[in-house]
Each structure stands twice: as structure tokens, then as C-alpha cells.
């Protein structure tokens, strides 16, 4: 059996992992969204179904603070209530820039496209 780099993981590895917010753990990772232009892992789809009623929300991948492979848990830098109130994600609909803008506004964070356009202006 060939030994690989133990730090390399498939994005599918975290599907099913529970989510640990700053104040509580909840739900699980249901899927991931890849940006086809630059092949970045743009979002993790969080299923909050242990709240009644549950829903799916998107968590930008860059907000993952750590992953515990041993505990099968993804740690995020957000509180549970903020995620609970996030705009619902409907996998049957395309992710539009308007949806993304509402998502980042909800989380009060700068969108990824603003950072890349700011870097382009500075160059």
C-alpha cells in the first residue's frame, strides 16, 4: 500500500461531519460548492436539520477555522444563531451574485469577489 500525504483530503471527506460553532454544535456538512472558474472550494453546504424546522445554508469555506478528522467535526468562526438565520440555500436554484451578496451581508463579512477586485486595482 502506497503512503500518501496525510494532510491531503478529498472535500468529500467532510460530508457528514458535524459543525461546531463558537457556542454550540449543530447539523452537519451536506455537500460542497466548487467555483468552476478557479476550482476553489467556495462553500460548504450545512444542513441544520437538528433544528426544527431545519434548512440548508452556505458557509464560505474560508471561514472554516479548523477540521478535526478524529472527531469528524468542522469548526467555524460564527455563532449558531447567526448561521440559523442565514439565507436558505436551495440546491435546485443557481447561486446568483444577488444571493451571494445577501449571504455575505447577513454574515457582515467582505465577499470574496471584493477582495480579488481590490487586489486587481492595487496592482
Q: Is residue 4 in a domain?
A: no
pLDDT for res 3: 57
pLDDT tens, residue by residue, 8-53: 566 777 899 999 999 988 899 999 999 888 888 899 999 987 755 7
Task: State the residue range of the domain holding 45.
Answer: 11-122
pLDDT per position as a tens digit, 55-114: 999 999 988 999 998 999 999 999 989 998 999 999 999 999 999 999 999 999 999 888
CATH code, 89: 3.90.50.10
Q: Is 69 a domain residue?
A: yes
The predicted structure's pLDDT at residue 6: 60
> 5 lies in a domain?
no
Cβ-contact 51, 35 below 8 angstroms: no
| Confidence (pLDDT) at 122 | 44
Residue 8: enclosing H or E segment and its boundaries? none
Residue 104 lies in a domain: yes
| Domain total in the chain | 1
Residues near 55 by beta carbon (within 8 Å), at least 6 away in sequence: 48, 49, 88, 89
Amino acid at each position: 500500500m502506497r503512503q500518501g500525504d496525510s494532510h491531503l483530503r478529498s472535500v468529500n471527506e467532510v460530508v457528514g461531519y458535524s459543525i461546531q460553532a463558537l457556542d454550540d454544535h449543530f447539523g452537519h456538512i451536506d455537500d460542497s460548492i466548487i467555483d468552476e472558474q478557479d476550482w476553489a472550494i467556495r462553500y460548504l453546504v450545512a444542513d441544520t436539520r437538528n433544528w426544527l424546522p431545519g434548512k440548508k445554508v452556505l458557509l464560505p469555506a474560508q471561514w472554516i477555522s479548523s477540521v478535526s478528522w478524529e472527531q469528524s467535526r468542522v469548526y467555524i468562526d460564527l455563532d449558531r444563531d447567526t448561521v440559523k438565520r442565514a439565507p436558505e440555500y436551495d440546491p435546485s436554484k443557481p447561486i446568483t451574485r444577488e444571493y451571494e451578496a445577501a449571504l455575505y451581508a447577513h454574515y457582515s463579512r467582505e465577499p470574496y469577489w471584493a477582495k480579488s477586485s481590490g487586489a486587481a486595482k492595487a496592482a
